[in-house]
Amino acid sequence: MGAGLVGSLLSLYLAQRGHEVSVFERRADLRKQGLVEGRSINLALSDRGWRALEGVGVGEEIRRVAIPMYRRVMHDQHGNLSYQPYGQDNQAIYSVSRAILNRTLLDLAEQDPRIQLRFNQQCLGVDLRARTLDLRDAQTGTRQTQSFRRLFGTDGAFSAVRAAMQRTDRFDYSQSYLEYGYKELNIEPGPDGAWLLEKNALHIWPRGQYLMIALPNLDGSFNCTLFFPYEGEHSFAALQTPAQVQAFFEAVFPDVVPLMPELQAEFFQNPTGSLVTVRCFPWAFDDDVLLLGDASHAIVPFYGQGMNAGFEDCSVLNELLEEHGADWPAIFGEFQRQRKPDADAMAELALYNFEEMRDRVADPRFLLQKKIESKISAQYPGQWLSLYSQVTFSHIPYAQAWQNGQRQEQIMRRLMPHIQAEADYDRPEVQQQLKAEIVQNHS
């Protein structure tokens, strides 16, 4: 159930192992809609996502339409810029259009004779014991009962499959919203499709209690997102007129206002989205039903890991299919046992990074610490990988990355009082303390 990013990718993995797959999707086939390609929501694809795409042979095709972002560019209130590289050398996260990605996966699925795609199929209910879906065709209005042998719930944060599981005994569930909403806005392309901000970067306007980000599109535009409180002095509630919006943006995001000619219209036409974290357990109902992706672990977008985590679910499941063959109870059981702590850790990390992006990245001390960490990484390769790199450029399980990151943060708290500038890193007492910490960290 669900032919979004995770559902369409999963169907390819299942078909690759010889299974017959029917994919039911509530919405219409997005390939038949006239979207402006360059303007859909874009997502940051990183190593976990790439690996999962490469597992079905679609990595190269996506790489051609992905824009590498090598660093964060922070814009302060006066338009001054500061920089933070994401990783070493050529490491980057990639801005990819959600629509292009989904279409590519659906095209692949359609070519596979073992996969049937069925659109406009709203799931009204699931009878877990009878193993049937109650489906309503949105075009004809007809209802049908669809039986299944094994159901994969990849129907997103508001999953209908999960809703059925929520009513079973001992199903732990929570949905928790931030007091922040988001608004999508656009930066127009320059003449001849030129990018009016640095193209190969993720742009951040950190403002303490709120922030805006921008990711590049192929057509020279940028997709911006304002993350903003619902209530309070600076909030959606406080911006009620076009004039108020214009004045606010000119005051706090002055360098971007000239690049947003449609600002006022977009601000009021585009919906305000909410930001939810969903946690639940179990993810499996017997060996009949399994939740993956946002259906079992929707997270806030501040680490750029929502899609990557969902794609990694597919990689992990694929490994278990390899390992356990047709032993579905083992596959489902091991999947949720192994993957739940990682999903929980990633949810925490995403919430943690919200603070980092809206507040800490504007702090020179924070940026200095990141530079020092980068030096440590270079000096102690294999013994120090920044938390960000572990999450973004490695396949270390999220829970372990989070644990490592917390331990490293403790070390930095002891080290940083001795460092006032980048050059202090080379002072003998700093080097000595660092060495002792590294030894201890690995003992």
The stretch near a copy of itself (CB under 8 A) out of 3-11, 31-39, 165-173, 365-373 is 165-173
SS (H, E, C) the chain: CCCCHHHHHHHHHHHHCCCCEEEECCCCCHHHCCCCHHHCCEEEECHHHHHHHHCCCCHHHHHCCCEEECEEEEECCCCCEEEEECCCCCCCEEEEEHHHHHHHHHHHHHHCCCEEEECCEEEEEEECCCCEEEEEECCCCCEEEEECCCEEECCCCCCHHHHHHHCCCCCEEEEEEEEEEEEEEEECCCHHHCCCCCCCEEEEEECCCCEEEEEECCCCCEEEEEEEECCCCCCCCCCCCHHHHHHHHHHHCCCCHHHCCCHHHHHHHCCCEEEEEEEEECCEECCCEEECCHHHHCCCHHHCCHHHHHHHHHHHHHHHHHHHCCCHHHHHHHHHHHHHHHHHHHHHHHHHHHHHHHCHHHCHHHHHHHHHHHHHHHHCCCCCCCHHHHHHHCCCCHHHHHHHHHHHHHHHHHHHHHCCCHHHHHCHHHHHHHHHHHHHHCC
Cβ closer to a copy of itself: 83 or 158? 158
Cβ closer to a copy of itself: 167 or 442? 167
Cβ closer to a copy of itself: 222 or 283? 283
The stretch near a copy of itself (CB under 8 A) out of 34-42, 46-54, 100-108, 163-171 is 163-171
Cβ closer to a copy of itself: 163 or 368? 163
Cβ closer to a copy of itself: 184 or 188? 184
Least Å distance, CB 172 to a copy of itself, is 5
Cβ closer to a copy of itself: 169 or 192? 169
Residues 166-185 that bind a copy of itself (CB under 8 A): 166-167, 169-177
Least Å distance, CB 175 to a copy of itself, is 5
- Spell out, one character per residue from 262 to 301, where the chain touches a copy of itself: x when CB under 8 A holds, - when not: ------------x---------------------------
- Spell out, one character per residue from 200 to 239, where the chain touches a copy of itself: x when CB under 8 A holds, - when not: ------------------------------x---------
Cβ closer to a copy of itself: 215 or 298? 298
Interface with a copy of itself, residue 124, by CB under 8 A: no
> Which chain residues interact with a copy of itself by CB under 8 A?
158, 166-167, 169-177, 230, 274
